[in-house]
Homo-oligomer: A and B are copies of this chain.
Amino acid sequence: MTKTRLTLYDTTLRDGQQTQGVQFSTPEKHRIVEALDALGIDYIEGGWPGANPTDSAFFDEVGHTRATVTAFGMTKRAGRSAENDDVLAAVMNAGTKSVCLVGKTHDFHVTAALGITLEENVEHIRASVAHIVSQKREALFDAEHFFDGYKANPDYALTCLHAAYEAGARWIVLCDTNGGALPSEVGRITEAVIASGIPGTHVGIHTHNDTEMAVATTLAAVDAGARQIQGTLNGLGERCGNANLTSLIPTLLLKEPYASTYETGVTLEALEGMTRISRMLDEILNRVPLKQSAYVGSSAFAHKAGLHASAILKNPTTYEHIDPALVGNRRVIPMSNQAGQSNLRRRLAEAGIEVPDKDPALARILDRIKAREAEGYSYDTAQASFELLARDELGMLPEFFEVKRYRVTVERRKNKYNKMISHSEAVVVVKVGDEKKLSVSESMDELGNDRGPVNALSKALAKDLGPYQHMIDDLRLVDFKVRITQGGTEAVTRVIIDSEDGQGRRWSTVGVSANIIDASFEALLDAVRWKLVRDAAPA
């Protein structure tokens, strides 16, 4: 049976950036584009060129993608032609193959917000879409407040859509802008749009999560015949967020009747990257991933109830609606029981450490992890620190060097030109074999700017490790995340450091302390020790 193709349109970079506190840098945007492209998304909306400097920079630099990168803008303004509207010109100048324009379809908004006549608005839509098409670009029309508009004045709302469609828009996207429409009415109205003469193969759906039903509302539109789905990774977006592609894509690929009726550009193989992509976005946003997220949350396949956990051991399908591996996630069963140990053995094997079944060291490692997690450590991402802890317990961790003491000073004062400047300096004292080594570093970059105490400590620590020095010369600190967390009764700082070396390896380490410098130093130390284990240890 031939499946019907659904088109996936991602707006993480545009509508997702409307989230409070979210502002992607250009390199972050490129990382997200790479992930979306590998996943198999059809359209990637990159932002509003002209409205936002980082959006313009993004379009200047975006390279080749399988997905159609799309620029977003709005229909032309009153009092000028589409050709002479500088806001629209900035959008066109991004040079994308495809352009999506938002326009009004709710009569009240036309008169109240734009202050133009209903006829003028229809003409603006027509002229703007026609302009895009005349420039040999593909046009999409985002019908703002469409469902409210249709409920208020169905004839006018449909007239707006038909103006865009007849002017050559490839997709007419029905937007529930304020997130208030419920699945049943979205289904009914989408059917009416298609019945009015716009084929479902040209109809898209764009919903928001203000009633916690954006996913269901999107599927209701698909059930009614819409063939393009707009959404964001992790449901990012203004207010309560947009329709969550991270939930929608697994449902479309794995759940009936969708799986056997439809196909998308996402393969089952690519779907296995879903959890990783979701976590990557949280990492970019420096957010704690939501444990309870559908499909990709770390609790999505966690079985706490005793009844459930024992049934799961007999047969996983009893309490799981899908196999977690299909979305790259995994089952979690409380550490305390037998399943906890087999989980641990699998993680150790992934780090190249084979431990026999029922080895008493396994229980000791689990106990140490539990105790550390109670203090605020987290080994979910800090795989390298986890490995060092396990190696230590297994007697497989050489003591390469010992840190005797360190001191770091940050000063801020006026320089001789009466300008406030900062200066950071670190002294680290290590013992390598019998030799004591004192290293001092300051923290200036090429431009003479101070990079702070962690940078100074990192330089001093990696300055002279004697026989090991050549192994860490290619070590680079590439990311640094700090979170205040609860360790016992006191707030403590958790630092996660990502490091890289010349061989392209990348690893994460963790440090915890009430003192942010101590926490950072602990994570730095683990980063160095893990690198030495890899390059120097007999293992």
Which residue of B19, B25, B182 contacts A486 across the interface (Cβ within 8 Å)? B25
B210–A300 contact, CB under 8 A?
yes
- A31 shortest CB reach to chain B, Å: 12
- Write out, one digit per residue, whether chain A residues 233-249 have a CB within 8 A of any chain B CB (1) or not (0): 00100111100100100
Question: Cα distance A334–B210 when bound, in Å?
Answer: 18
Q: Which residues of B contact A183 (CB under 8 A)?
A: 183, 216, 219
A484 within 8 A of B: yes
A255 within 8 A of B: yes
Within 8 A of B (CB), among A29-71: 51-53
A255–B53 contact, CB under 8 A?
no
- A521 shortest CB reach to chain B, Å: 7
Which residue of B53, B239, B292 contacts A241 across the interface (Cβ within 8 Å)? B292
Q: How many copies does the complex hold?
A: 2
A515–B452 contact, CB under 8 A?
yes
Which residue of B113, B209, B412, B514 contacts A449 across the interface (Cβ within 8 Å)? B514
- A315 shortest CB reach to chain B, Å: 6
Q: Which residues of B contact A450 (CB under 8 A)?
A: 514-515, 518
- A293 shortest CB reach to chain B, Å: 7
B240–A299 contact, CB under 8 A?
yes
B451–A514 contact, CB under 8 A?
yes
A321 within 8 A of B: yes
- A404 shortest CB reach to chain B, Å: 7
Q: Which residues of B contact A303 (CB under 8 A)?
A: 238-239
- A356 shortest CB reach to chain B, Å: 22
A238–B178 contact, CB under 8 A?
no
Question: Cα distance A319–B175 when bound, in Å?
Answer: 12
Pick out which of these stretches binds chain B: A158-166, A273-281, A345-353, A475-483: A475-483
- Write out, one digit per residue, whether chain A residues 259-295 have a CB within 8 A of any chain B CB (1) or not (0): 0000000000000000000000000001000111111
Pick out which of these stretches binds chain B: A5-13, A374-382, A393-401: A374-382
Q: Which residues of B contact A286 (CB under 8 A)?
A: 483-484, 486
B20–A291 contact, CB under 8 A?
yes
Which residue of B213, B290, B445 contacts A213 across the interface (Cβ within 8 Å)? B213
A336 within 8 A of B: yes
User: Considering the complex of A and B, which 9 residue pairs feature the smallest CB-CB distances, nearest first?
Assistant: A180-B321, A216-B216, A452-B515, A25-B486, A405-B413, A482-B482, A212-B247, A212-B294, A286-B483
Seed contacts A238-B302, A240-B293, A410-B515; 11 additional CB < 8 Å A-B pairs: A20-B332, A20-B334, A20-B380, A112-B315, A182-B251, A210-B294, A211-B295, A238-B303, A406-B412, A412-B521, A481-B482
